[in-house]
């Protein structure tokens, strides 16, 4: 059973990559944007960046979705910005990660095993993508705040970084290869 979170700033291609990966593998797909509260969507539409207080309840909902899929032994892909290490800890361990700033502690539910796929690329390419996007609540003006917030994953987090400048088929192959390696390590 594998859980994958495709992460990165707005416009990096999380939804496209995540949905295509899930479809190709026959896995469930979730887009974190679908779970933002109306208040969060309104705030972003007004050009106001979300803060930790806005994001933590949303991330806890996403953790619960991943926990449910894990308990059902269901492979799943989640497209989620997951910009800060703390946000990724919440996805892995739930609300308990907020107090401890660590994965699950003894006596708690075990941390989820998630492969984070960081879609990385230059701001000018991503800005160009955002300019072409229509009907999304995240305005291009907030891209700089996303880059300012971004804490790229580092060891000991379970992650790979993939250049969004590659073609979609190459990106998908790179992720599939990492999933196979990850599964081998878990066995």
- The CATH number of residue 182's host domain is 3.40.50.300
Q: Is the torsion defined by CA of 12, 50, 38, 63 positive or negative?
A: positive
The pLDDT of residue 137 is above 70: no
User: By CB neighbour count within 10 A (0-12 exposed, 13-18 middle, 19+ buried), where does 114 fall?
Assistant: buried
The pTM of this model reads 0.90
Contact 77, 142 (CB under 8 A): no
Cα of first residue to Cα of last residue in the chain, in angstroms, is: 11
Kindly indicate the confidence band of residue 185, based on its pLDDT and cuts at 50, 70 and 90.
Answer: low
Q: Is the torsion defined by CA of 61, 64, 66, 68 positive or negative?
A: negative
Contact 103, 56 (CB under 8 A): no
Query: Poorest-confidence range of 19-23, 45-49, 178-182?
Result: 45-49
Contact 88, 154 (CB under 8 A): no
Contact 153, 159 (CB under 8 A): yes
Mean pLDDT for the chain? 88
As given in the structure block, the two tokens for residue 24 are 């190709």
What does the pLDDT read at residue 116? 98
Task: State mean pLDDT over 160-178.
Answer: 96
Q: Which residue did the predictor score with more confidence, 138 or 12? A: 12
Query: Poorest-confidence range of 59-63, 103-107, 142-146?
Result: 103-107
Percent of the chain with pLDDT over 90: 65
Name the nearest CA neighbour of 76 among 177, 184, 179: 179
The pLDDT of residue 18 is above 70: yes
What does the pLDDT read at residue 173? 97
Kindly indicate the confidence band of residue 86, based on its pLDDT and cuts at 50, 70 and 90.
Answer: very high
As given in the structure block, the two tokens for residue 142 are 């907030």
Q: Give the SS3 label for residue 4.
A: strand
The 8 Å CB, 24+ separation contacts for 172-179 are 172/17, 172/20, 172/21, 172/24, 175/4, 175/6, 175/17, 175/21, 175/117, 176/21, 176/24, 176/25, 178/115, 178/117, 179/2, 179/4, 179/25, 179/115
What does the pLDDT read at residue 44? 81
The pLDDT of residue 87 is above 80: yes
Number of domains within the chain: 1
Domain that holds residue 167: 3-186
């Amino acid at each position: 059973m594998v859980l994958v979170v495709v992460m990165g700033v707005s416009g990096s291609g999380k939804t496209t990559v995540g949905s295509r990966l899930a479809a190709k593998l026959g896995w469930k797909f979730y887009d974190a944007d679908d779970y933002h509260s109306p208040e969060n969507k309104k705030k972003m539409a007004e050009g106001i960046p979300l803060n930790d207080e806005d994001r933590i309840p949303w991330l806890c909902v996403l953790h619960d979705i991943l926990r449910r899929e894990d308990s059902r032994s269901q492979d799943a892909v989640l497209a989620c910005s997951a910009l800060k290490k703390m946000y990724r800890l919440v996805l892995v361990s739930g609300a308990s990660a907020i107090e401890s700033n660590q994965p699950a502690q003894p006596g708690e539910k075990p941390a989820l095993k998630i492969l984070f796929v960081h879609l990385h690329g230059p701001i000018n390419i991503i800005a160009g993508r955002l300019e072409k996007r229509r009907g999304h609540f995240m305005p291009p003006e907030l891209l700089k705040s996303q880059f300012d917030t971004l804490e790229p994953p580092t060891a000991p987090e379970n992650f790979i970084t993939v250049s969004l400048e590659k073609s979609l088929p190459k990106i998908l192959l790179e992720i599939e290869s990492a999933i196979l390696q990850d599964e081998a390590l878990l066995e």
